[in-house]
Amino acid sequence: MSEVALTLEGWYALHDFRSINWTAWKSADDEDRAMALDELQAFIQDWSEIEASKLGSSTVYTIVGQKADFVFMHLRETLEELNAVETAFNKTTFAQYTTKAYSYVSVVELSNYMGGASGGDPMENPDVIARLKPTLPKNKYICFYPMNKKRDLDDNWYMRSMEDRKSMMRSHGMIGRSYAGKVKQIITGSVGLDDWEWGVTLFSDDALQFKKLVYEMRFDEVSARYGEFGAFYVGSLLNEQSFEELLKL
């Protein structure tokens, strides 16, 4: 049996993708729409208190294309808290004008592929804690995709030695580091939590950097030989004002 990679886990993550029922939204009267928007704004405003207390983080982005209209991304300490924030939205008037497009449940993860032995309890290291319990970036654009490592005959990631996997991930990680300052990423693990094994969420002020980063990584062995990818979702940051603009008739 190959050596199992060790991981540290932080906050649980929910990507909650929704589509707007435009027929229902257009059919609603002005008073109902105003009430729905007020409740939506109150729901979003609650996030600032949670972030200020360092108990979690949330953000919302539009989604370009037909897969969804927008996504809420939430980070919370427990699955129960994720469920509570999802339920809180479902109870809003605005939620009645949306349909559920897709969701992804995972947990922020750091593995021992990249790091060396540093001594001491890593959970007492402020840099580690900042990566495991991050405040979500508010960059202009987001890109999310789920992925697996292959388990096909000779191309079985899980049958490679720890030494081989570390070497490949080190090379893979160096590509990501070359985009420091251009792209921020949050890796979440979802083995046993959702249909894929990891979720990758990228943030940038230049959407073309997503294309450049992912394309360059396609030539790295980790992706070229062992990577399997789900659907990609890309969009732009929403705030109260831009959400109102999105919903304006």
How far is CA 76 from each of CA 15, 172, 218, rounded to the nearest angstrom? 12, 28, 32
Marked catalytic residue, from 113, 145, 179, 226: 145
The Cα 16–Cα 28 span in angstroms is 24
Please confirm, yes or no, whether 145 is among the known catalytic residues. Answer: yes
168 within 8 A of 222, measured Cβ to Cβ: yes
Helical H segments across the chain, by residue range: 22-27, 30-52, 79-90, 126-132, 162-177, 208-218, 221-226, 240-247
- Best CA proximity match to 93, nearest among 29, 182, 149: 29
SS3 category, 56 = strand
Q: In this structure, what token pair is assigned to residue 28?
A: 């609603």
Q: Which residue is associated with the tokens 């109102």?
A: 244
What are the φ and ψ backbone dihedral angles of 133, each rounded to 5 degrees?
-130, 65
Which residues participate in catalysis according to the annotation? 145
